[in-house]
Structure 1
Amino acid sequence: MNIDDLKSDWRRAGNEPLSEKQLAMMTRVRNHPSLRKLRIKFMTEIIALSALLLMYYDGFDGAQKPLLANILLIISIVLYIVNNALGYTQIQNPSVSVNLREALAKQTRSLKRLAFLSLTSSVLYATALIVFFTYQMVFTQRKYIILSGLILSALLLFYYSWISWQRKIAHFKQLEADF
């Protein structure tokens, strides 16, 4: 392709008017590539956690664990999945208002609430997993080291998640302040 063809293509670009349907499809939040990645991640987590729920009783000796540990594990997994579903629907359907500042304030409040629920469900889920898998375990020094590493990893992941939520909330607060 020579430079003259490129120039003529550049001049013609944007001359074809887009239909209302094409414009609507381009501006829909649901078509955003980040939501597609999030949807894939969410579906993968649902499949993995559902598999864990289906096999934990037999595969991980759930029958030998106390009822409280089993209930805590089930509730924490279900709460984690529900929280992710709520977060996904919140992101997929942002609040729309005539007043942009009001919409940003509403989104900020919603993100704060979602952050609290997300962090709480993550802590409960991690705690339930640790309690379930360490119940009736005979600990040696090596197992204490492994458990300490797991707890430290969970705390670091929790901290990273908290920082990430704080960045998102601060971004929306800044957008609100700019208006």
Structure 2
Amino acid sequence: MDPLQEAWQKMPAARTSPAGLREMIQRHPARRGMRRQMIFEILSLTVFLLVYYDFFDGARRPASANAWLVAAVALVILHNVTGYFFSRRVLAGNHLQEMVKGYLSGMRRFAVVSVAARVGMVVCMLLFFCSGLAMTDWKMAMLMIIGVIAAAQMVWLGIIWRNRIRDIGSSLDE
């Protein structure tokens, strides 16, 4: 059973006010999952930015490859920071269904930008790591395998976002 529905059913009649329901939605597991993912990504990408230049020979790569990589990773970090605050945002308004529908609409936009930013980051990472390499057939094959794996991860991320949005939407429907 959906945690929101279960909490609603267990709540005494005196506490089933719109404010109480709003609080339950604020603590929905999908929102907590979003925040956990964003914190993990912010920390891991920040560590990557701090060490990539030394660990991955940034000095030997073209300045443009370094700039694209830093810009793409910083964009994903910034997007996650804004997403963290978006997920913590208090639902405002008088009509609960309208509030949640507005939140879901914003969540859909956020999900699209999230996947697009990661695609850009993966492309920039591939450009960075491939810059200055003499491409052989073996390296091209490895690059294609990496591309397929990255594409699969982007599809998986899209599915995760779709499921989160669906979970909150189904809570609203119920």
**TM-score bin, normalised by smaller chain:** 0.7 to 0.9
Question: What is the CA distance between 1:36 and its match in structure 2?
Answer: 6.1
Question: What is the CA distance between 1:156 and its match in structure 2?
Answer: 0.8
Q: 1:115 aligns with which of 94, 98, 111?
A: 111
Q: 2:68 aligns with which of 66, 69, 72?
A: 72
Structure-2 separation of matches of 1:100 and 1:109: 14
* Residue 93 (structure 2) aligns with: 97
Aligned residue type for 1:148? M
**Quick one: structure 1 residues 37 and 118, their matched pair in 2 at CA, closer, same or farther if it must change by over 3 Å?**
closer
Kindly, what percent of the aligned residue pairs are identical?
27
CA RMSD, Structure 1 to Structure 2 (Å): 3.4
Larger Rg over CA atoms: 1
Q: 2:147 aligns with which of 142, 147, 151?
A: 151
Structure-1 separation of matches of 2:97 and 2:26: 22
Aligned residue type for 2:98? E
* Residue 130 (structure 1) aligns with: 126
1:77-124 deviation per Cα after TM superposition (whole angstroms, max 9, x unaligned): 111111112222212224232101210221122112201220121111
Aligned residue type for 1:90? F
**Structure 1: stretches of 5+ with no match in the other structure:** 1-23
**Structure 2: stretches of 5+ with no match in the other structure:** 1-19
Scaled by the length of structure 1, the TM-score of the pair is 0.70
* Residue 17 (structure 1) aligns with: none
Structure-1 separation of matches of 2:37 and 2:70: 21
* Residue 52 (structure 2) aligns with: 56
Q: How many residues align?
A: 158
Structure-2 separation of matches of 1:36 and 1:167: 14
Is 2:66–2:128's contact at 8 Å kept on the other side of the alignment? yes
* Residue 4 (structure 1) aligns with: none
